[in-house]
Structure 1
């Protein structure tokens, strides 16, 4: 999985465990692309935005 803002360096790139959750802190506002790749994969992925209000 990769999380990246336009042409900037990724803020996250790696593989996490098959189940469970983790957090990624995004350093600045903007539009980010989340890319998930898998081979012979099944299941689901979910993403949630948590804001500091």
Structure 2
């Protein structure tokens, strides 16, 4: 989605706050990073290889 799209602001808005522990030292980026890396969908790609033929 690009910034000129009529629903762009609605798409990037969070409906609820991200879960955060009281004394969490991680930034929002670090929290999102670990959420992605350790997600089941991402782990399914672990031993997959993309091959591009020339």
TM superposition score normalised by structure 1: 0.20
Q: Looking at secondary structure, tell me which structure has more strand per residue.
A: 1
Ranked by relative contact order (alpha carbons within 8 Å, sequence separation 6 or more), the top structure is 1
TM superposition score normalised by structure 2: 0.20
Please tell me whether Structure 1 or Structure 2 has the larger radius of gyration of its CA atoms: 2
Q: Looking at secondary structure, tell me which structure has more helix per residue.
A: 2
